[in-house]
A = this chain, B = another copy of it.
Amino acid sequence: MDVLLFGCGRVGRAFCELLCRKSDMLKRASISLVGVATKSRGCIYNPHGIDVDDMLRWESITGRIDALSRGGCSVIQDSNEMLRDINYDVLVDCTPSDFDLGEPARSIIIKAIQKGKHVITANTAAMSLYFDEIMDEALEMGVKVLYEATVLSGTPLFSLVRDGLPGCRIKRFEGILNGTCNYILSIMEMGCSFDEALLETQRRGLSEQNPWVDIDGLEAAAKTVIVAKSLMGLNVGMSQVHVKGIRNVTTQAIEDAKRRGGKLKLLSRVEINADDLDITVNPEILSMGHPLAYLEGFSVGALLLTDMIGEICVSGSGSGPKETSYSLLRDLLSLKGR
């Protein structure tokens, strides 16, 4: 299975590093990276498989992806050309999330689907904005679109429901979906102010370029929409989510939560009531009996209420690029296994 990677930022790079680390496994599974396209650092193609280790080494010296033009690698001028002309089986999309328009991810994904290629994406924005269009197009073309990396990073959620909860209806969803917010709230619990906590997050390079996408709950809301559509079959959009981020959370509020024996968390919630639907992203006090209350730092998790076996909770200790890139690999392997 030949893979074309679009985007080589933090997640794309972590994906490449993972491919290096797991090269034996990938060889056994006949999975190889044949193309890498970036916006400003060049594009390369090698039908026999790119030496990823070498590519990363050269990139770290030259700052260019296309510095590696040995061993059958050819430099491509335009990323559109790659989508159109080269041979590949799966597009792995690691382009940055744009929460206004969902571009360029949407266009790239749709083009790949229309060429009959499978798509694996980490792009939360595009999937939350164009879920229906993308899935309809994929259905029509008979290809798969997998998006495990868009929610809970490396922790399996969609594959858990697909393979682990077949036949179950998800009646309620609660999640701590944004690791950055959870990290900030965790630091605040140790006595920092919001500003100090944010600074610490940025200083450690843990937040996105625009941290307000996290902090104001936009990223969590997008993830919640993907969950509502994908796991609960709900016809909803970003406009239906009542979002309140953590921008105005005070040390006082954190202390209040503690005094009440709980923890303040940015909680995503999808609740189906008798005749309406409640989708929220809100700072909420969780009692210490709540399965998500113990999640600290960059941990993320989800609590699903099912019709058949009650509540199921899944969580993971990490939500960085390394974990996210693992979900891309998982999707790749599951595509291979089909």
A-side interface residues toward B, CB under 8 Å? 18, 22, 25, 153-156, 159-160, 162-167, 288-291, 293-294, 296, 301, 308-318, 322-323, 326, 329-330, 333-334
15 residue pairs bridging A and B, Cβ less than 8 Å apart: A25-B167, A154-B308, A154-B310, A159-B164, A167-B330, A289-B296, A290-B294, A291-B294, A301-B313, A308-B326, A309-B316, A310-B316, A311-B317, A312-B316, A312-B317
Pairwise interchain contact B167-A156, C-beta atoms closer than 8 A = no
Q: Which residue of B lies closest to A26 (CB)?
A: B167
Complex CA distance for A18 and B22, rounded to whole angstroms: 41
Q: Contacts A154-B310, A313-B313 known; list 7 others, CB within 8 Å.
A: A22-B167, A163-B163, A164-B330, A165-B330, A166-B334, A167-B330, A310-B316
The list of the 4 closest CB pairs from A to B, nearest first, reads A156-B164, A154-B309, A163-B163, A310-B317
Q: Which of B289, B296, B318, B333 contacts A167 (CB 8 A)?
A: B333
* Residues of chain B within 8 A of A333, CB atoms compared: 166-167
Q: Which residue of B lies closest to A336 (CB)?
A: B166
* Residues of chain B within 8 A of A310, CB atoms compared: 154, 316-318, 323
* Residues of chain B within 8 A of A288, CB atoms compared: 288, 294
Q: Which of B22, B315, B329 contacts A291 (CB 8 A)?
A: B315
Q: Which residue of B lies closest to A338 (CB)?
A: B337
Pairwise interchain contact B313-A312, C-beta atoms closer than 8 A = no
A334 CB, nearest partner CB in chain B, Å? 7
Q: Which residue of B lies closest to A304 (CB)?
A: B316
Scoring A164, A314, A323, A333 by chain B CB atoms within 10 A of each residue's CB, the highest score goes to A164
Q: Contacts A163-B334, A290-B294; is A313 near B315 (CB within 8 Å)?
A: yes
Q: Contacts A156-B164, A293-B294, A334-B163; is A314 near B312 (CB within 8 Å)?
A: yes
Complex CA distance for A309 and B311, rounded to whole angstroms: 24
Task: State the copy count for this chain.
Answer: 2
Complex CA distance for A163 and B336, rounded to whole angstroms: 12
A156 CB, nearest partner CB in chain B, Å? 3
Scoring A166, A289, A317, A333 by chain B CB atoms within 10 A of each residue's CB, the highest score goes to A166
Q: Which residue of B lies closest to A307 (CB)?
A: B21
Complex CA distance for A160 and B296, rounded to whole angstroms: 23
Pairwise interchain contact A313-B311, C-beta atoms closer than 8 A = no
Scoring A25, A317, A329 by chain B CB atoms within 10 A of each residue's CB, the highest score goes to A317
Complex CA distance for A326 and B164, rounded to whole angstroms: 10
Complex CA distance for A312 and B333, rounded to whole angstroms: 19
A293 CB, nearest partner CB in chain B, Å? 7
Scoring A296, A308, A309, A318 by chain B CB atoms within 10 A of each residue's CB, the highest score goes to A309
A163 CB, nearest partner CB in chain B, Å? 4
Complex CA distance for A164 and B333, rounded to whole angstroms: 10
Pairwise interchain contact B294-A167, C-beta atoms closer than 8 A = no
Complex CA distance for A162 and B167, rounded to whole angstroms: 19
* Residues of chain B within 8 A of A326, CB atoms compared: 308-309
* Residues of chain B within 8 A of A311, CB atoms compared: 316-317
Pairwise interchain contact A160-B164, C-beta atoms closer than 8 A = yes
Q: Which of B153, B293, B294, B313 contacts A316 (CB 8 A)?
A: B313
